[in-house]
């Protein structure tokens, strides 16, 4: 008995007839994934023009016999690629890529959240006092950056955000 594997694009559900048309897309830096990365498969033509997109979701495009391409694009445009099912569902059911195989240790850098560049970004774990101070002292600027990066902003009406960043006084001041 013979078995036949039929591949379809995770993005559109279209058949992938030739292996040379198949690309693996490694999704990193998506808000619902946190520090994890997942792999989805697509037709090369579906992702060939991503290099010129806005920078919000980091992807690696891997195609047999080709160099890996790194692409960063706006979150809403990335999510619009998924036509067969919502991107959130696609990403939560996609194969997880281990940190070791997904990102070589030599290039993995620890993010310093106690800087204007990274303070307030969604993450797992505790928030340092230094990050809390940066967020308190630069609240509007940080929220503007987060919004521009397609990330959730820090909401003074969200008790979890207020507690996480020590924003009780600012929340009272802005409400009153």
Domain spans of the chain, in order of start = 7-102, 129-175
Among the listed residues 36, 46, 39, the one whose alpha carbon sits nearest the alpha carbon of residue 82: 46
Q: What is the mean pLDDT of residues 40-53?
A: 80
Output 66 or 46, whichever has higher pLDDT.
46
- What is the per-residue pLDDT across 78-107, written as a single tens digit (0 to 9) for each? 889 999 888 888 888 888 886 544 444 444
CB 6 within 8 A of CB 33: no
Residue 29: pLDDT band by 50, 70, 90 thresholds? low
Residue 40: pLDDT band by 50, 70, 90 thresholds? very high
> What average pLDDT is seen over the chain?
83
What pLDDT score does 107 carry?
46
Q: What is the mean pLDDT of residues 22-40?
A: 81
Q: What is the mean pLDDT of residues 115-144?
A: 89
């Amino acid at each position: 008995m013979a078995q036949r594997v039929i591949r379809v694009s995770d993005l559109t559900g279209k058949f992938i007839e030739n292996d040379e048309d198949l690309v693996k897309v490694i999704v990193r830096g998506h808000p619902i994934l946190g520090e994890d990365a997942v792999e989805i498969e697509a037709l090369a033509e579906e992702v060939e023009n991503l290099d010129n997109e806005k920078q919000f979701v980091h992807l690696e495009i891997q195609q047999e016999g080709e160099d890996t391409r790194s692409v960063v694009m706006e979150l809403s445009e990335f999510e619009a690629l998924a036509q067969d099912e919502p991107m959130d569902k696609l990403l939560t059911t996609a194969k997880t890529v281990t940190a070791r195989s997904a990102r070589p240790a030599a290039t993995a850098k620890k993010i310093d959240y106690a800087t204007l560049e990274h303070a307030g970004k969604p993450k797992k774990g505790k928030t340092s006092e230094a990050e809390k101070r940066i967020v308190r002292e630069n609240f509007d600027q940080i929220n503007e950056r987060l919004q521009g990066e397609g990330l959730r902003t820090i909401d003074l009406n969200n008790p979890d955000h207020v507690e996480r960043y020590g924003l009780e006084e600012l929340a009272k001041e802005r409400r009153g």
